[in-house]
């Protein structure tokens, strides 16, 4: 943590913890995910690499929002959450409620809760450039 960790609003701290927990859950889910058998080994490697890069990108966005006060990063995380819910709804309609869908739903709920905290309470002024 940086030296300004004591000045981070409580809701921003909650946002950060919930989103990092969600990303940890996504990482564990990806590690145990089984890919289709017809996928070649190189295609599976590329898919795993892209998944890892996406997770690292989201870690970077959380850091930008929570520590660097970048409101655009928080907005981008919100847009990704909305796309995630659309994707999850399609997956639930096609496959029903299997274990991987439950894990994805839990991850999306954690992300939604974290983003809620980033827009409410003592977090309201955190992204205001005039307040820095």
What pLDDT does 34 receive? Answer: 75
60 by Cβ neighbours in 10 Å (0-12 / 13-18 / 19+) ranks as exposed
What pLDDT does 41 receive? Answer: 86
Q: Domains of the chain: which residue ranges?
A: 9-33+40-121
Q: Which residue, 106, 35, 39, is CA-closest to 97? A: 106
Q: Which residue, 75, 73, 79, is CA-closest to 60? A: 73
Residue carrying the six token digits 């990704």: 80
- What CA–CA distance (Å, rounded) separates 96 from 104? 13
Question: One digit per residue, pLDDT tens: the chain, 132 residues?
Answer: 444 555 899 999 999 999 999 999 999 998 887 777 788 888 888 988 999 999 999 999 999 999 999 999 999 999 999 999 999 998 888 877 788 888 999 999 999 999 999 999 999 999 988 777
36 by Cβ neighbours in 10 Å (0-12 / 13-18 / 19+) ranks as exposed
CA 30, 35, 41, 42 torsion-angle sign = negative
What pLDDT does 1 receive? Answer: 44
What pLDDT does 4 receive? Answer: 54
């Amino acid at each position: 943590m940086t030296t300004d960790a004591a000045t981070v609003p409580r809701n921003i701290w909650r946002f950060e913890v919930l989103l990092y927990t969600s990303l940890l859950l996504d990482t564990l889910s990806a590690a145990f995910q089984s890919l289709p058998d017809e996928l070649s080994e190189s295609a599976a490697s590329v898919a795993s690499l892209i998944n890892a890069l996406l997770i690292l990108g989201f870690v970077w966005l959380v850091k930008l929002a929570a520590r660097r006060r970048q409101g655009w990063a928080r907005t981008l995380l919100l847009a990704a959450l909305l796309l995630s819910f659309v994707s999850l709804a399609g997956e639930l309609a096609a496959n029903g409620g299997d274990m991987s869908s439950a894990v994805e739903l839990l991850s999306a709920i954690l992300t939604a809760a974290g983003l809620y905290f980033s827009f409410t309470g003592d977090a309201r002024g955190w992204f205001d450039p005039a307040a820095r």
